């Protein structure tokens, strides 16, 4: 039974369809695993045991009646705590939302429920998705299952760690500057940031509206594609969602063929600052793709050098406005309301007590960048850089089908190493940020280990060509898995001793 947790979503899907196993059994196995290892990993902020089992029973009942179910019906999933789920605590990793139970569900959550996906609970994250390590969560750091003394990446460290710790075969993340891909890279899992507008943002607590994108996470490329297909598509409730058919991601993951494809290596996303182990795994992956029939060429995107700076003006600017609503008037934390204070004082005290240091830092940065007299120099200039980066991508994609780079410059770093050095922390996302600024699609998948820790390989595709990520990713994964005797996570520590079992 416990073997169930090591299966991929595709394998579970098949067993469930053949009724070799019930959704309840699969769900219970994962709940047991969570009970066993999550004390050590701390991937979850809330486990919805009853809700998950009830949903599993519904799927089993529907299957017994012969209803036509989607491929992921009965497969469990870990949901990043940034998505509103009706009646389920949603904190976004912040004290300011402590105790809030949303009166509505995000569109992605509704789609998951409709598909019969079993939601196990909410996963840990940096507060309001601001961070690259989960150390900014108000509810404690998540540990990397590969080395519990190290961070799992962020902001979606909880979702990534849940996959690597076999607490769930599927997870949902959100990616504003790399919050899906960087944790995927550091935990040896797969994560996709879809094209901006490819997945609805309705019900996803906003960090930076023009950059945020929800995406699928799993341990295999095919599982990621199966989840991608369930959550993607136009939504009337999100004005920025694209009204066009979702690219054929599952078909691409199954085809796994790069023959004749042109792959561009981004010159600016290599060299100084990239650890040698990271660069070596990257080069090996390129070699594999070449051997599979792809042509590899170097591509220059000169404006990527300004990506990080532009990002740290645009994202905090939008965040300073998005986070203004947390004011104690309608929901969440309320501090100082003893009858003697004005509404303004209560707002101020609540925000002082409810937001963590990094969130305050970004609110102040963003407020400053949008201020009269500074707007043009900061926000205005950053938007121009954004346009230039978009043009760099357009130019690159006129000669190659996809771009590739290491996902992160380093492997997972020890907890506490960068928590007092924000700029060093920000550099973790140097290779992932340009993707968000341009709204294109990208995947991170495991390329191997460096000193026993996972290294991520990033693939970038033009907007609404998300299928190319899966075509390339699945081809690379097939060859690497053959070499390793299974996907990378099969080499992950089993965590039994850590959990004290």
Q: CA angle at residue 87 from 77 to 69, to 5 degrees? A: 40
Closer CB to another protein, 124 or 405, in the complex: 124
Residue 221's CB is within 10 A of a number of other CB atoms, namely 29
Cβ 283 to another protein shortest distance, Å:
38
- The CA distance from 180 to 159, in Å, is 9
Q: Of 22, 132, 137, 155, which one is the catalytic site residue?
A: 155
Cβ 341 to another protein shortest distance, Å:
11
- The CA distance from 92 to 366, in Å, is 19
Residue 339's CB is within 10 A of a number of other CB atoms, namely 4
Cβ 293 to another protein shortest distance, Å:
40
The residues that touch another protein, with contacts defined as CB under 8 A, are 83-84, 90, 92, 97, 100, 102-104, 106, 201-206, 208-210, 236-240, 317-318, 320-321, 324-327, 329-331, 339, 342-344, 347, 367, 370-372, 375, 379
Cβ 137 to another protein shortest distance, Å:
16
Closer CB to another protein, 19 or 237, in the complex: 237
Cβ 367 to another protein shortest distance, Å:
7
Smallest CA-to-CA distance from 494 within 41, 26, 13 is with 41
262-187-29-228 Cα dihedral, nearest 10 degrees: -30
- The CA distance from 117 to 119, in Å, is 6
What per-residue string of b and e applies to 279-293 under the rule 16 or more CB within 10 Å gives b?
bebbeebbebbeebe
- The CA distance from 382 to 377, in Å, is 8
Closer CB to another protein, 377 or 482, in the complex: 377
Residue 340: active-site member: no
DSSP 8-state secondary structure symbol assigned to residue 115: T
Cβ 202 to another protein shortest distance, Å:
5
Helix, strand, coil percentages (3-state) for the chain, rounded to 5, are 45, 15, 40
Please list, in sequence order, all residues whose beta carbon lies within 8 angstroms of the beta carbon of residue 387, skipping any fewer than 6 positions away: none
Closer CB to another protein, 206 or 221, in the complex: 206
Please list, in sequence order, all residues whose beta carbon lies within 8 angstroms of the beta carbon of residue 215, skipping any fewer than 6 positions away: 172, 173, 174, 175, 180, 191, 192, 193, 194, 199, 228, 231
Cβ 390 to another protein shortest distance, Å:
15
Closer CB to another protein, 109 or 252, in the complex: 109
Closer CB to another protein, 350 or 428, in the complex: 350
Q: Of 133, 179, 241, 428, which one is the catalytic site residue?
A: 179
- The CA distance from 490 to 189, in Å, is 11
Q: Of 80, 95, 122, 193, which one is the catalytic site residue?
A: 80
- The CA distance from 250 to 221, in Å, is 9
Residue 418: active-site member: no
Chain-centre distance for alpha carbon 486: 23
Residue 179: active-site member: yes
User: Are the C-beta atoms of 238 and 458 separated by less than 8 Å?
Assistant: no
Closer CB to another protein, 68 or 342, in the complex: 342
Sign of torsion over alpha carbons 98, 104, 107, 113? positive
Closer CB to another protein, 191 or 332, in the complex: 332
Cβ 209 to another protein shortest distance, Å:
4
Catalytic residues: 80, 155, 179
């Amino acid at each position: 039974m416990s073997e169930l947790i090591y299966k991929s979503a595709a394998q579970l899907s098949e067993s469930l369809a053949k009724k070799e196993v019930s959704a309840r059994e699969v769900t219970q196995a994962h709940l047991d695993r969570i009970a066993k290892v999550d004390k050590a990993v701390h991937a979850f902020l809330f486990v919805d045991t009853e809700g998950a089992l009830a949903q599993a029973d519904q799927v089993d009942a529907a299957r017994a009646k012969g209803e036509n179910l989607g491929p992921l019906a009965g497969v469990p999933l870990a949901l990043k705590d940034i998505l509103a789920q009706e009646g389920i605590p949603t904190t976004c990793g912040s004290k300011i939302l402590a105790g809030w139970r949303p009166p509505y569900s995000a569109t992605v959550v509704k789609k998951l429920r409709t598909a019969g996906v079993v939601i196990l609970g909410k996963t840990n994250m940096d507060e309001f998705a601001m961070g690259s390590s989960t150390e900014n969560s108000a509810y404690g750091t998540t540990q990397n299952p590969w080395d519990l003394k190290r961070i799992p990446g962020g902001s979606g460290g909880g979702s990534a760690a849940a996959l690597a710790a076999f607490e769930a075969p599927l997870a949902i993340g959100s990616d504003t500057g790399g919050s899906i891909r960087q944790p995927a890279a550091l935990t040896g899992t797969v994560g996709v940031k879809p094209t901006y507008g490819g997945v609805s943002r309705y019900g996803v607590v906003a960090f930076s509206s023009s950059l945020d994108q929800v995406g699928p996470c799993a341990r295999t490329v095919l599982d990621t594609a199966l989840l991608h297909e369930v959550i993607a598509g136009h939504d009337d409730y999100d004005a920025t969602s694209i009204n066009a058919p979702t690219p054929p991601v599952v078909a691409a993951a199954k085809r796994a063929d790069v023959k004749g494809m042109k792959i561009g290596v981004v010159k600016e996303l290599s060299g100084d600052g990239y650890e040698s182990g990271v660069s070596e795994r990257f080069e090996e992956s390129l070699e594999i793709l070449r051997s599979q029939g792809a042509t590899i060429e170097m591509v220059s995107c000169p404006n990527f050098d300004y990506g990080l700076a532009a990002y740290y003006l645009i994202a905090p600017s939008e965040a300073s406005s998005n986070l203004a609503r947390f004011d104690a008037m309608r929901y969440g934390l309320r501090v100082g309301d003893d009858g003697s204070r004005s509404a303004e004082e209560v707002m101020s005290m609540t925000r002082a007590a409810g937001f963590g240091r990094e969130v305050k830092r970004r609110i102040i940065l963003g407020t400053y960048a949008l201020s009269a007299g500074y707007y043009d120099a900061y926000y205005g200039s950053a938007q121009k850089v954004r346009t230039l980066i978009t043009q760099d991508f357009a130019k690159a994609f006129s000669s190659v089908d996809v771009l590739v780079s290491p996902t992160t410059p380093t492997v997972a770093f020890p907890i506490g190493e960068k928590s007092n050095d924000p700029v060093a922390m920000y550099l973790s996302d140097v290779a992932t940020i340009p993707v968000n600024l341009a709204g294109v699609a990208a995947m991170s998948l495991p390329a191997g280990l460096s000193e026993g820790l996972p290294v991520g390989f990033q693939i970038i595709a033009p907007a609404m060509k998300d299928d190319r990520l899966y075509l390339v990713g699945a081809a690379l994964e097939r060859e690497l898995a053959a070499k390793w005797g299974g996907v990378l996570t099969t080499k992950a520590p089993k965590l039994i001793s850590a959990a004290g079992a």
